[in-house]
Amino acid sequence: MDEPRFVFFGGKGGVGKTTVSSAFGLRCARSGQRTLLVSTDPAHSTGDLFDQPFTDAPQPVDGYDNLEAMEIDPATEVDAHLQQLKRELGTQMSAAVVNEVDLQLEMAHRTPGAHEAALFDRFIDVMRDADPYDRVVFDTSPTGGTLRLLSLPDLLEGWIDRLIAKREQSIELYERAAIGNRAPRRQLDGDPVIARLQDRRKRFVFARDTLQDAARFHLVMNPDSLSLRETERALETLKEYELPIGPIVINKITPSPEAHEDGRGGRYLRQRCASERARMQEARDSLPVEVGAEIESRVQDVTGDVLEEVAAELDLPVGGQPA
Amino acid sequence: MSLTTRIATFRRAIERWLLARFGDTWVEEWARGLYHGMISHPAYEKIELEAEDLEDAFMVACFPDAFGIPSPVSYYTAELLPYLETEFGAWERRMWDRQSLIERKGRQYHF
């Protein structure tokens, strides 16, 4: 099996990432691979799709072999992180300083990037504990957030390196200042701050290596010009971060009417189809990656049998031997 | 008897004599004070000031939100807070207290 273990689906909001990633997960499971579907959508749409509530621990999807799913809620993650730190704060610090630091802590968890950071953290956890699965499919949040998320390892690694260097320099000076029998104000040996930073660093290095070597990114788009532009931009960003890009999935293609239908609906559909075909042709010609799958729009919400149909249309390589 | 051991013996003899003669008197107190004020303190004070400056830079890099600058890493650096108790307090005090870079760096030189 040379298909990468981690597959990410991204795209603008509403293009059908959840549908496509669920369908892909289903295909993988059908081909006999133990598959985990990870959703980051706070609206719990994966749960709606399979008509079954999921939590942030993987659990088997009813009615499908080899398929498990989990839903990560960024807000809950941020909150859990905050509570955990507050507990640590209570055990480490004297009550007098706790209030000051508490304020700083609250602030850090309300910054715009907190949700992304929390999500990213959970992604790393999932990737680290992926041993029981042959394939992990990530249904990511809309484009901007996701791309930022995936660009984090490089950025954060550099930042943490600088932080470690600064901390080491200052401690070194403190140690040097400790002449005679004076005890240095800080000690490099066993410094918990450096230890934690290094621990973080290791996680980011792992994330970067995994994302570059064992992952693939599929963008999902709809056949309209807005979606096409967005996809072009997203592709550029992915390339910039040197992340491996897989074929594009075009979703929600309007089915064409029968030739004899010439009512208002028929004409509308025909025009609509023509413009979509043009966009799709443009996508095939201008995008730097191939279009891997084209999926027709459905009348009903995608659940159960419809998901099976979509899975049948979603012709992306799943690797492994079909069971 | 080598030269070094002879010097050491001689030094110990002088220390013993000084301690017996001036120990616990105002002379010892003054001598210690002078040594501290003229030699040891200026030596490590400057190094510690520089170390504090570096530590401040570290803290600003960790918690720029304290100055209203949003940072993509503050979510992660918040994990360090439980271990930065003394640093955090001292940092805040120094930030309140700071006038200018020239003032701060100037203090590290005795003209």
Handedness of CA B48, B53, B59, B65 (dihedral sign): positive
* pLDDT at residue B71 is higher than 80: no
Lowest mean pLDDT among A13-17, A214-218, A306-310: A306-310
Sheet strands (E) in chain A:
6-10, 35-39, 59-60, 67-71, 135-139, 215-221, 248-253, 291-296
- Per the model's pLDDT, the better-predicted residue between A140 and B102 turns out to be A140
| Residue from B39, B54, B67, B86 whose CB has the most chain A CBs within 10 Å, to mutate | B54
Question: Which pLDDT belongs to residue B49?
Answer: 85
Question: Which pLDDT belongs to residue A1?
Answer: 45
- The beta-carbon contacts of B47-52 under 8 Å, at least 24 apart in sequence, are B47/A173, B47/A174, B47/A176, B47/A177, B48/A173, B48/A174, B48/A177, B48/A185, B49/B104, B49/B107, B49/B108, B50/A173, B50/B108, B51/A170, B51/A171, B51/A173, B51/A174, B51/A177, B51/A185, B52/A170, B52/B90, B52/B94
* Cβ neighbours, 10 Å, residue A15: 25
User: DSSP class of residue A214?
Assistant: S
Contact indicator for A51, A304 with CB cutoff of 8 Å: yes
Residue with tokens 């002078």: B34
Q: Do B40 and A197 touch (CB under 8 A)?
A: no
How many angstroms separate the CA atoms of A293 and A273, rounded?
17
pLDDT digits (tens, 9 = 90+) for A203-244: 988 988 888 889 888 888 999 988 899 889 888 888 888 888
ipTM of the complex as predicted: 0.72
Contact indicator for A151, B109 with CB cutoff of 8 Å: no
pLDDT digits (tens, 9 = 90+) for A18-66: 888 888 998 899 888 999 999 887 777 888 888 888 888 999 998 888 9
- Looking at CA atoms only, how far is residue B94 from chain A in angstroms? 15
How many angstroms separate the CA atoms of A108 and A82, rounded?
9
Q: Do A111 and B71 touch (CB under 8 A)?
A: yes
The CA distances from residue A113 to A101, B12, B66, B85, in Å, are 20, 64, 15, 25
Tokens standing for A6? Answer: 């981690």
Sheet strands (E) in A35-86:
35-39, 59-60, 67-71
pTM metric for this prediction: 0.77
Q: Do A193 and B84 touch (CB under 8 A)?
A: yes
Smallest Cβ–Cβ distance between B54 and the set A108, A169, A178 belongs to A169
Domains annotated on chain A, with CATH: 6-85+106-153+214-313 (3.40.50.300)
Question: Which pLDDT belongs to residue A302?
Answer: 66
* pLDDT at residue B32 is higher than 80: yes
Handedness of CA B37, B41, B46, B51 (dihedral sign): negative
Contact indicator for B47, A177 with CB cutoff of 8 Å: yes
Chain A CB within 8 Å of residue B88 CB: yes
Smallest Cβ–Cβ distance between A104 and the set B47, B72, B81 belongs to B81
Interface of B with A in 59-78 (CB under 8 A): 61-63, 65-66, 70-78
How many angstroms separate the CA atoms of A44 and A177, rounded?
56
Tokens standing for B82? Answer: 């439980």
- Confidence class of residue A322 from pLDDT cuts 50, 70 and 90? very low
